[in-house]
Amino acid sequence: MKENAFFTLPLIGSFIYFVISCLITISSMIIYFDLAYFWELIKFSPFNIINYLLKTHILDVVFVFGILSLFLHSLNVHIINKTNVELVIIIMVLFSVMAYFIPKTLLFDFGDLYPIKNIFIIIISVMFYLILYSLLLYYLLNFSNKYFIKNQQSFPFTATNSTKIHFNLFAIFTTFVLIKGYLLITNVFQLFSMEISNNILNIVYISGILIAVGLTIPCFKQSFDRIQTDRLIKSIIQPSIIIFICIIVNFIFIFKVPTALLYKNIEYGNLLSITCLMQIVLLPLIIALILNKVT
C-alpha cells in the first residue's frame, strides 16, 4: 500500500501511544495492588477502570496526535507503507514507555497558595512536561528520519485539503488546550465541592467547546501551500487566554456566593441555583462567540 496521507500515520502512532500507555497504567495498578485484588476490580467495576484510563490518557493522546502530525509533515513523511508504519509503531512504543515517567517529576503541592497563583504555577509545570513530550518525540523521529520512505516532492496541498488540514489542526490543539486548561482551573478551585454536579458542568463545557470549534469551519476558507504554524498558534492562544479569564472570573464569582444557602434558605437557595445554572449554560455560548471573533 503506497499513498500520501497527512493524518494516517499520526493516527496510527497516537493509537499505539494510547494502547501502550493503558497497558503501562494497568501494569502499574497490578504492581501497586496484588493481582487477585486487581481482577476483582475488573470483575465488579470494569466501567470505572475504562473511565479512569480514558480520563488519564485521552487528552495526551489528542496532543500527541497533533504534534506527531506536525513533526511527520516537517520531515515530509506521508507515504503509507509497511516500512513507515512499522517505524512509527516502534517509535511510539519507545515514546510511550519514556513519556509515562515524565509527568511524575512535575507533581508539586501548591495548596498553601492563592488559587490564581496556583493556576499559573500548575499551567507552567504542565507546559514544561508537554515541552518534554514534544522534544522527546521530535528527537525520536529525527533519529529515525533516514529510515523513512519519502516522496521526492513535498506534500501536495490543494484548495480542498489545505483548508481541511488547517481546520483539523486547529480543532485538535484548541480542544486540547481548552479542556486541559479548564480541568487545571477546576482542580485548583476544587469545583467538586460545589452543590451543582461537576459532571453536568463538565459535559456542558466540553459540548460547548466541540460545538464552538465546529462553528469555526467557515473561518477556514483560504488555502495555502504550506502549514501556517504562526497563524495556528495565534488562533489557538488568543481565544484560549480570553476564555480562561472568563472561566476564572466565573468561578471566583461562584465561590464568593454563600453556597450553604442552597439548602438552608429556600428563597435564596432557588435564586442561587438559577444563577449558577445560567452561568453554566452561558459559558459555551461565550466560548463559541470568542472563537468565532478571534479565529
Cβ partners under 8 Å of residue 288, min gap 6: 208, 211, 212, 215
Residue that finishes a domain, picked among 95, 124, 156: 156
Whether the per-residue pLDDT at 103 is higher than 70: the answer is no
Residue range 227-283, pLDDT digits in tens: 888 888 888 887 777 777 777 776 666 655 444 333 344 343 444 455 555 555 666
152 shares its domain with 294:
no
Last residue of a domain, one of 156, 178, 194: 156
Q: Are residues 167 and 67 in the same domain?
A: no
Q: Is 103 exposed, middle or buried (0-12, 13-18, 19+ CB in 10 A)?
A: middle
Q: 174 and 117 in one domain? A: no
Q: What is the pLDDT of residues 209-227, one digit of tens each?
A: 888 888 777 777 777 778 8
Do 213 and 144 lie in one domain? The reply is no
Q: Report how many domains make up the chain.
A: 2
pLDDT in tens, 20-53: 999 988 888 777 766 665 666 666 666 777 777 8
Whether residue 86 sits in one domain with residue 27: yes
Domain that holds residue 285: 158-295
